[in-house]
Structure 1
């Protein structure tokens, strides 16, 4: 046993050189850790689907065509509906002349609606379209990863 300096009855204290050697050994032992970020099961199926997409096989083309069809359908519904609504506003004011005479804050209602309403409406439609497009893409990626 090595000599330690300490009062009798107290546990032996290691010398400073021994303590540093012991700490470096302990630090080396704890340095390596294995981290698993993904489950290796089911990777073959995902890999096969990704290869089909990259090589543009008939299955990969169908998957991409379905994604594009979904995106176009969403764009036509939201964009077409908004365009139709905005195009019908002047017709409503033409065929209902009573609305044309209404004034709010000194501005006639048709000018107010045609000048102010389209901006927040277009912003809301763009926001909704972006959210739906991201959801379609997320569904596509999750179907590929299954």
Structure 2
């Protein structure tokens, strides 16, 4: 009951790969929006939310580390360099000047950086969610 060897082709037909570069090409099947995945707390939604939360945590940790090193380093500087304890600028001791005047503008710049970066992270997340 063997098939006739002359009836079967010697080589299979070549494979063809079909692609479309059109962005408005219809999507296949039922595509669920990512917002629905996030709302339903599915695995995909969890991945997106954990990515957002880790980016926010990384930013907060970086700002916190900068503040801890900056403010925590001042007492260490005053301890290790005795000349800074007695140095006066316009009859105001340097430690008082640094702690009373310089710290606040630096804190405002760091806070502005944090807000801008946080907004950028959230905008990128919204764009990624809305893109799908």
Question: What TM-score results when the alignment is normalised by the length of structure 1?
Answer: 0.66
Distance 1:93 1:101 in 2: 9
Q: In the alignment, what sits opposite 1:97?
A: 82
Distance 1:122 1:92 in 2: 19
Among 68, 87, 93, the alignment partner of 2:53 is 68
Q: In the alignment, what sits opposite 2:62?
A: 77
The answer to which structure has the higher helix fraction is 1
For residues 43-87 of structure 1, what are the alpha-carbon distances to aligned partners after superposition, in whole Å with 9 as ceiling and x for unaligned? x75x52111011110110110111011001001101221122111
For residues 76-119 of structure 1, what are the alpha-carbon distances to aligned partners after superposition, in whole Å with 9 as ceiling and x for unaligned? 10122112211110111111011222111211111110122221
Unaligned runs of 5+ in 1: 1-38
Q: Size of the alignment, in residue pairs?
A: 105
Unaligned runs of 5+ in 2: 1-23
**Structure with larger RCO (C-alpha < 8 A, sep 6+):** 2
Q: CA RMSD in A?
A: 1.8
Distance 2:43 2:101 in 1: 48
Q: Show structure 1 runs of 4+ deviating over 2 A.
A: none
Q: In the alignment, what sits opposite 1:53?
A: 38
Distance 1:118 1:99 in 2: 16
